[in-house]
Structure 1
């Protein structure tokens, strides 16, 4: 009898409790959906450059859920776009105190960027160090730290942080672009060629591609000077030297020797090029040599070396170089492509299915 009464009481309690619990869950889900809808609308306004309208939507969402980290992050992001750095900083800091699962990388990157833009690089770097300790697989946080160090004219630290970013992503074009840029400033010539070529290949931004090709061409030409019909090797002055710079002179010497001794028909490599076709011919020749040097030199100890070893192993060097140099002279590229379309397809297949999957 006691068991029956207990069972009845349990059933009665369940019957009364279930609707209440269901109602609370339904209400919570409804509020979450309403907040998400407002945030989505705000993001759309932001993307259209309508920042005040975006903020109005976020503020509505904030009233419904004052402890939502995503809402505060989006508000900080929009205030930053409006260049209201004080409000951006306030909301970004508030978001870090809430549950920010899924947005930590973007949140800490934004917080550090705001500090940097406010002229507070030490605070920015403190954020990046703390964030990277929590998120060691991030590529965006060390990338932003590198930007801060570059603004401080600290090339060595910028280089160290950009390497961390590259180690965590093979397709973040900004990281590989700045690695090539920093290498050129520091006299790290194997890295300069390796990363500048690679960032050109993976980049979808025309300005990065143009800048990279211009730097590859201009830097290479500058390694040899002609004065009064006399050819001289020119070692560029670098902003910051370290232990690697002396070793890298061997790589530079190899490039300079190629420039002095190799020819393109009747033209010397150090001759001035008068057409875009000649510029492309020059760069194709020198980059083929540079790839072989990068792939097997002891002066570089970066994972990117395996990429160039793979190009050589798969006989894809020519397809890679022509794909890089296409913007220099499209008619020359078109003539090559007519005969080598399958090789270019094989290059991208190898890159996507083997290199990126390693």
Structure 2
């Protein structure tokens, strides 16, 4: 009996030792990967594979490093090893394989893979987001919208999904919907490089349907059609606000002051017009949130917060009003 106990103890020690070595190699490989030294990372992962050739963690990390090296065939091969074992890192393996197929120009295969993965993991948000991205690349806007909304339903805090939805709606001429998605993106990501693009799109959608001629006459163009067109009344209101900004009585107001006034009016009108005819994500998510914001004491702080990237006046305002910024943060947590 004591020999059996000794054997079991030895096997347990050997297993723990091997696992510790694998973890050490994985950490070392990830460190190399994060520094962009992908060949060194792969060489380190190979040492880990000697100890456990079927490790889902190691094979997935290798897939990531191969992807960064633009070696998409090996990326797919490593991802498939994870998928075949059908244990851990399955969603990540689907994501990296689908992305590799996309980069190889096999977009339709990538779409099929993501659709298959979504049936297995319906609550994941990155799978429908990446599927939406593929449809977006193929200019299949309705399919892209459907899936990016699914991503947001699964994770409302995913900034990239709000940004994609804003661009889809803008491409389809849905100004109000684009504005709402863009506003929420800027709330989540006010100071990244792409937030500058988001702010440009926001300004365009706020004033793009208004033009002033040489004789100072003002023209408002409305893209929505029919009494039941979603947000047609709100789009008309945008035009009226844009026209109002050009009036002499507003000439002395700063761009930031006009932005705050227009944003407050926009959110309030949407909240008052909100009904069951509106699309679900707008009726149940965007509009109620921004309507509550417009009725709070934090609307000006919010506007300065989303304007901070590239707007020195907004940046200075935030520095001078730290308490207001803290109050907004507390309100958002409620």
The TM-score normalised by the length of structure 2 is 0.89
What is the distance in 1 between the residues matched to 2:318 and 2:121?
45
What is the distance in 1 between the residues matched to 2:9 and 2:228?
68
Change (3 A) 1:49 1:205: farther
**Cα-to-partner distance string for 1:71-120 (whole Å, 9 max, x where unaligned):** 1111111111010111111111121111442x222221111111111111
What is the distance in 1 between the residues matched to 2:229 and 2:193?
32
What is the distance in 2 between the residues matched to 1:306 and 1:179?
18
CA contact (8 A) 2:245 2:258 kept: no
What is the distance in 2 between the residues matched to 1:284 and 1:261?
14
Root-mean-square deviation (CA, aligned residues, Å) is: 2.6
**Cα-to-partner distance string for 1:217-259 (whole Å, 9 max, x where unaligned):** 122221111233231112469xxx9x99933333211211222
Change (3 A) 1:23 1:293: farther
Aligned mate of 1:91, from 69, 78, 84: 78
For structure 2, the 5+ residue unaligned runs are none
**Map of 2:184 onto structure 1:** 198
Aligned mate of 1:301, from 280, 283, 298: 280
Aligned mate of 1:345, from 326, 331, 334: 326
| Match status 1:281 vs 2:260 | no
After the TM superposition, which residues 267-278 of structure 1 pair with which residues of structure 2 at under 5 Å, given as runs? Answer: 267=250, 278=254
For structure 1, the 5+ residue unaligned runs are 1-12
> Which piece of structure 1 moves more, 40-49 or 122-131?
122-131
How many angstroms does 1:278 deviate by? 4.0
Instruction: Provide the secondary structure at the position in 2 that maps to 1:67.
Output: coil
Change (3 A) 1:305 1:247: closer
After the TM superposition, which residues 59-208 of structure 1 pair with which residues of structure 2 at under 5 Å, given as runs? Answer: 59-101=46-88, 103-203=89-189, 205-208=191-194
Instruction: Provide the secondary structure at the position in 2 that maps to 1:83.
Output: coil
**Map of 1:248 onto structure 2:** 231
| Match status 1:326 vs 2:301 | no
Change (3 A) 1:328 1:54: closer
CA contact (8 A) 1:58 1:75 kept: yes
Aligned mate of 2:8, from 13, 21, 42: 21
Change (3 A) 1:288 1:204: closer
CA contact (8 A) 1:142 1:164 kept: yes
What is the distance in 2 between the residues matched to 1:292 and 1:236?
21
Aligned mate of 2:241, from 249, 254, 258: 258
Instruction: Provide the secondary structure at the position in 2 that maps to 1:232.
Output: strand
CA contact (8 A) 1:121 1:148 kept: yes
Change (3 A) 1:130 1:205: farther
CA contact (8 A) 2:136 2:144 kept: yes
CA contact (8 A) 2:304 2:317 kept: no
What is the distance in 2 between the residues matched to 1:346 and 1:156?
39
CA contact (8 A) 1:280 1:328 kept: no
Instruction: Provide the secondary structure at the position in 1 that maps to 2:139.
Output: coil
**Map of 1:7 onto structure 2:** none
**How many residue pairs were aligned?**
327
How many angstroms does 1:33 deviate by? 1.3
Change (3 A) 1:38 1:116: same
**Map of 1:38 onto structure 2:** 25
Change (3 A) 1:31 1:266: same
CA contact (8 A) 1:194 1:291 kept: no
Instruction: Provide the secondary structure at the position in 2 that maps to 1:199.
Output: helix
> Which piece of structure 1 moves more, 205-214 or 53-62?
205-214
Change (3 A) 1:82 1:210: same
What is the distance in 2 between the residues matched to 1:123 and 1:107?
15
